[in-house]
Amino acid sequence: MQVFKLFMLILKKKIKLIILFTIAFMALCIGFLFSSSTDEKFTESRLKIVVADNDDTPESKALIEYIGTKHDIVTSKMDIKDALFFGTVDYFLTINDGYAKNIAYGATEGLFKSQHVYESYSVAYMSSFLDEYVSCVRACTAAGDDMETAVKNAAAAMDTNTEVSMISSEAGNANGLESGKGFFRYLPYILLSLMISVLSPVMMSINKKEVRFRTNCSAVRPTSFMMQILLGSVIYVLAIWVLFMVAGALMENGAYSGMGWLNLVNSGIFAVVSAFIAVLVSMLLPSQQTVNLACNVISLFMSFMCGVFVPQAMLGKTVISIGRFLPAFWYIKVSDMLTGAAIFNSSKAVQYLLIEAGFAVALGIITTLLYKTKLRSAEL
């Protein structure tokens, strides 16, 4: 078992990398879990505004009153420039003299002056808010309303909100998480990363020409050589899979209850797929220096194209068409059913798992044929 011992010796040097990837992934999952646990989606910013009313008319007072419903109107004891600089005030608005007369005649220039320290979304929103208010008042007066009615109707029109309905799947959520979220949703990325970044360099090291030549001169038969490498690879893949299955059980309550046990099958198949991809990478790359680049390109490309980071429902038709030729696409199909992002259908779930397993078989055949070709070339 000299080859197996050598495999494990090289693999041992990658333990720190495995720990680093695992900790980073767990931190990422915890961040996603906490970010999705809150029901708050959007809150409108309230600025601290100082208003100087140089017009002092019912129209200007109505505007100030309406601004007070959206923002906090404050007074400042210090100089306004200092207040803006130190952040005790966000916006200083001056309603110019003649505001009411100008707006009644349809003039929209020179109605206000403003001071603020820097440009921001909130400042831009305030400017847009004033423009929208003036436009609403002008529209009401153009429709024949007097100024008092126009001011009231403008405020009412701006308070009209668009009703937004949050639609979620009616299917039961096996893992108790928000639809389309969860530990197993992002698992393909870390499996690909760990297989390529760790298994590929190990395979490249043990299959160097000088190592192969020495092996050919030894008593170790080529079949035994392959079987010992296979044993080492299986142990590594199995260890990584078990590690993340335990982590999944800790991260998600009832992760394997009900139909959740399919997470084990789904992730197990994809772990095998990732291992075959890693072996292919080790045979196709010219040197170990390019492994990290290949790891990032493959894992990120497949994650984005297949719906790991971006839900498949949000992907374009072209991306979906490309994703169908990648194994992670079918992994996500099953995962979406288990997390509630798609309605669960047992026959479709089995179909998707079989397609994913088909990728594993195809990659296994290609890997075996390519490895035998390289083995023969080394024997000559």
Pairing mode of beta strands 112-115, 72-73 = unpaired
- pLDDT digit string (tens) for 98-113? 888 888 887 778 888 8
Chain mean pLDDT for the chain: 82
Same domain, 152 and 294: no
Look at residue 188 and tell me whether its pLDDT is greater than 80.
Answer: yes
In the chain, beta strands by DSSP E:
48-53, 72-73, 91-95, 112-115
Q: What gap in Å lies between CA 368 and CA 46, rounded to an integer?
A: 64
Same domain, 185 and 239: yes
Phi, psi of 95 (to 5 degrees): -90, 110
- pLDDT digit string (tens) for 257-310? 778 888 899 999 999 999 999 999 988 888 888 898 999 999 999 989 998 888
- Neighbouring CB atoms inside 10 A of 135's CB total 14
In this prediction, residue 238 carries a pLDDT of: 94
Is 252 inside a domain boundary?
Answer: yes
Question: In 3D, which of 13, 4, 325 has the Cα closest to residue 197?
Answer: 13
Please state the rounded mean pLDDT for residues 355-379: 83
Same domain, 306 and 338: yes
Q: What gap in Å lies between CA 40 and CA 178, rounded to an integer?
A: 14
> Whole-prediction pTM value?
0.62
Same domain, 122 and 184: no
Domain hosting residue 119, numbered range: 48-158
Which residue's entry shows tokens 């040097």?
13
- Based on the structure, what is the number of domains in the chain? 2
Please state the rounded mean pLDDT for residues 11-26: 89
Same domain, 308 and 360: yes
Is 368 inside a domain boundary?
Answer: yes
Please state the rounded mean pLDDT for residues 229-243: 92
Is 297 inside a domain boundary?
Answer: yes
Q: What gap in Å lies between CA 184 and CA 193, rounded to an integer?
A: 15
pLDDT above 90: percentage of residues in the chain: 23
Is 168 inside a domain boundary?
Answer: no
Same domain, 335 and 308: yes
How far from the centroid of its chain's Cα atoms is residue 359's Cα? 25
Which residue's entry shows tokens 């992934």?
25
Question: In 3D, which of 5, 2, 11, 27 has the Cα closest to residue 275?
Answer: 11
Look at residue 376 and tell me whether its pLDDT is greater than 70.
Answer: no
Same domain, 28 and 77: no
- pLDDT digit string (tens) for 126-177? 888 888 888 888 888 888 788 888 888 888 888 776 555 554 444 334 333 3
Q: Are 274 and 193 in contact (CB under 8 A)?
A: no
